[in-house]
Amino acid sequence: MKKIIEYIALIEEELAKISPTQEPKELYQPISYMLALGGKRIRPALLLLSNNLFGGKDENAIHAALAVEIFHNFTLLHDDIMDDAPLRRGQKTVYKKWGGNIAILAGDVMFVNSLQLLTKTPTNQLSNVLTLFNATAVQVCEGQQYDMNFEQQSDVSIDDYLNMIELKTAVLLAASLKMGALIGGTSEDDANHLYEFGKNLGISFQLMDDILDLYGDPEKFGKQVGGDILANKKTYLLLKAQELATGSLKKELEFCLGSTALKNEAKVEKVKAIFDQLNIKKLATDEMNLFYNSALSHLDSIDIDLEKKKPFEDFAKSIMHREQ
Amino acid sequence: MKKIIEYIALIEEELAKISPTQEPKELYQPISYMLALGGKRIRPALLLLSNNLFGGKDENAIHAALAVEIFHNFTLLHDDIMDDAPLRRGQKTVYKKWGGNIAILAGDVMFVNSLQLLTKTPTNQLSNVLTLFNATAVQVCEGQQYDMNFEQQSDVSIDDYLNMIELKTAVLLAASLKMGALIGGTSEDDANHLYEFGKNLGISFQLMDDILDLYGDPEKFGKQVGGDILANKKTYLLLKAQELATGSLKKELEFCLGSTALKNEAKVEKVKAIFDQLNIKKLATDEMNLFYNSALSHLDSIDIDLEKKKPFEDFAKSIMHREQ
């Protein structure tokens, strides 16, 4: 059985073959640039691993794997326009480097490219895989829309938030795993367990991200501590605090969010103190663990040797930075 | 055999079923709005007609027909952002009404929707139809990129121009006809003749558009006479004139294009006089007729009763405003 790291190398190799010299180069250079920016290539690697888990050959699933990675990069490319983002993986975004028009069109072509690759899936699974892929693509767009809505919306509930991160982040991981399973020829039941494994893992990963933004080791995490608080970002932490805070604590929290006079450090410190009073870190960690454990229990339910499932368990542990 | 007008009505009926109440409504209202703006629905109607020509049932091709129409509207939606267009069919563009972010995302979802519909194509033709659709989608994007390039580019040749309008406009009409033929179960050969019929017709239609912009009856055509000249748009007429003009005529033409002092009417009049000296109207009409006749000869080559092909011939004549 191949290791995930070997699959990542395979994906990098295949992506590198996508040439920037195609015409019109104004369109294909940005695509090649975007794909060369890197990324963890987790989704395609898991798709191949999942196909392999059920005895599928790599060559049957490689196109779907590349499709998922290129689709993911297409969504990032269009998101960068919507977010007016200057940087992506430390480099200029396509949007900032070539402008909005090229970024829109290059994204559109990447999306078609992903479908062209997907259409090379063996005929007996083509319809199933396409249906799942397209449904997932719609969900990812809906998730992005909810995320944009939330910026303007004052009454975002925890359920709204969990739904949003499920759509925007988790379903593509889930679908990658399920597509691999389908191409590998397993039962609908096992494929669905892998889907739920990916979905729950994706949600717990996003919750961990929210927690680490404030409570993580800044050196390890590589971001400014409390960046989400400074941006008034509606994370699980903030939404939970807004749900629980009453009386003067509630007023204080809203004051911090609304104040322009508060200096950055003071704002993070004050909001963190409110979170601590409300036990937010523990509540968020509990929620994260719920999803994480649900992911592992779906992995347990797959009717296959424990030993073969180990790479998935190891992967889950590794991305959650867990030691055991 | 159904008439094209009946198919157009069927398409309108099906499009009207697409509901704006889906959530998130911020995403689905613009989609519904865009689809309700109208349009001639030529592509899906021809797809159904072409399927019917070879004995295919409407219900096998209706999803592909809707897919083509929704895809076409997706390209218009994204084009409107790139062109900073205020109006589409006399109404505000989605871009101006809801902003760029919504317009990008709504377009993306429409594109996925078109693929979801296409995936409902009967299994035996699914892979063929998808492959053609995706290749066409890439071409349409490439055509849009060339069109944008041409605005900055000083050395656009007639061949470049013909290639651009083939990609941007003609191949989608061609592919619609071929998809219908494939779903209708005809031979690759007949399907290809229908493709070439559509492609050549599409190119000749665009050339007619270029001619009518300057030489059409303004009341019939509904646009400002010489709008393309005022915008320095690189149409067939202008490119041909630039190819042929020499000496003082060449200088005069470049002066007209570069001058900001010339009033609108004077500019149109002067450029038109240059075109007349170079016999541009006739040359453009000859070129248009070449493509038109090529379209009809491909229709001739299809191995089926003349009577059955008549709706296609009538359609070709009608869109070219020809009497015989």
Kindly indicate the confidence band of residue A20, based on its pLDDT and cuts at 50, 70 and 90.
Answer: confident
Mutate to test the interface with A, among B130, B145, B148, B149 (most CBs of A within 10 A): B145
Of B108, B126, B135, the CB nearest to A78: B108
pLDDT at B268: 95
Smallest CA-to-CA distance from A47 within A195, A269, A224, A243 is with: A195
Same domain, A91 and A141: yes
Name the closest residue on chain B to residue A138, using Cα atoms: B109
Contact A224, A218 (CB under 8 A): yes
Same domain, A236 and A166: no
Of A27, A142, A149, the CB nearest to B145: A27
The span from the CA of B62 to the CA of B76, in Å, is 21
Same domain, A191 and A180: no
Smallest CA-to-CA distance from A15 within A94, A68, A93 is with: A68
* Average pLDDT across chain A, whole number: 94
- Count Cβ–Cβ pairs < 8 Å, chain A vs chain B: 108
pLDDT at B324: 33
| DSSP structural state of residue B166 | I
Share of chain A above pLDDT 70, in %: 98
Same domain, A17 and A137: yes
pLDDT at A324: 33
Name the closest residue on chain B to residue A149, using Cα atoms: B26
The set of residues, in sequence order, having a beta carbon less than 8 Å from that of B81 and lying 6+ positions away, is A100, A101, A104, B95, B100, B103, B104, B107
A137, B81: Cβ pair inside 8 Å?
no
Which H/E stretch holds residue B43? helix B42-53
The list of chain B residues with pLDDT below 50 reads 323-324
In chain B, residues with a C-beta closer than 8 Å to the C-beta of A113 are 138
| Count of structural domains within chain A | 2
Write out the E strands in chain B: 87-88, 91-92
Say if the ipTM goes beyond 0.90.
Answer: yes
Structural domain including A83 reads: 1-186
**DSSP string computed for A76-109:** HHHHHHHTT-SEETTEE-HHHHH-HHHHHHHHHH
Where among A186, A208, A243 does a domain terminate? Answer: A186
CA distance A45 to chain B (A): 24
Q: Scan residues 5-34 of B and list those with Cβ closer than 8 Å to A.
A: 23-24, 26-27
The span from the CA of B89 to the CA of B33, in Å, is 12
Same domain, A240 and A141: no
Q: Find residue B91's DSSP bridge partners.
A: B88
Same domain, A112 and A15: yes
Where among A130, A156, A186 does a domain terminate? Answer: A186
pLDDT at B21: 82
pTM (predicted TM-score): 0.95
Same domain, A159 and A148: yes
Q: Give the burial string for A224-248 (b: 16+ CB within 10 Å, else e).
A: ebbebbeeeebbbbbbbbbebbeee
Same domain, A147 and A294: no
Where among A186, A217, A247 does a domain terminate? Answer: A186
Same domain, A260 and A114: no
pLDDT at A2: 80
The span from the CA of B224 to the CA of A259, in Å, is 54
Q: Kindly state the tokens that stand for A244.
A: 């629980």
List, for residues A89-132, the tens digit of each pLDDT value.
Answer: 999 999 999 999 999 999 999 999 999 999 999 999 999 999 99
List, for residues A300-318, the tens digit of each pLDDT value.
Answer: 999 999 999 999 999 999 9
Same domain, A148 and A226: no
For residue A150, how many C-alpha atoms fall within 13 Å in the half-sphere facing its CB?
25
Q: Tokens 């033709």, residue?
A: B125
List, for residues A223-248, the tens digit of each pLDDT value.
Answer: 778 999 999 999 999 999 999 999 99
Helices then strands (H, E): number in chain A?
17, 2
Cα–Cα distance list, A55 to A189, A306, B253 (Å): 16, 15, 69
By the CB < 8 Å criterion, does A306 face chain B? no
By the CB < 8 Å criterion, does A111 face chain B? yes
A131, B119: Cβ pair inside 8 Å?
yes
Of A78, A102, A141, the CB nearest to B112: A141
pLDDT at B221: 63
CA distance A270 to chain B (A): 34
Q: Kindly state the tokens that stand for A129.
A: 């895989």
Q: Give the burial string for B223-233 (b: 16+ CB within 10 Å, else e).
A: eebbebbeeee
CATH of the domain at A304: 1.10.600.10
Of A111, A112, A134, the CB nearest to B116: A134
Write out the E strands in B98-165: none
List, for residues A174-188, the tens digit of each pLDDT value.
Answer: 999 999 999 999 999
The span from the CA of A65 to the CA of A54, in Å, is 16
Same domain, A39 and A167: yes
Same domain, A1 and A96: yes
Q: Scan residues 44-73 of B and list those with Cβ closer than 8 Å to A.
A: none
* Secondary-structure breakdown of chain A: helix, strand, coil percentages, each rounded to the nearest 5: 75, 0, 20
Contact A172, A68 (CB under 8 A): yes
CA angle B113, B117, B121 (to 5 degrees): 155
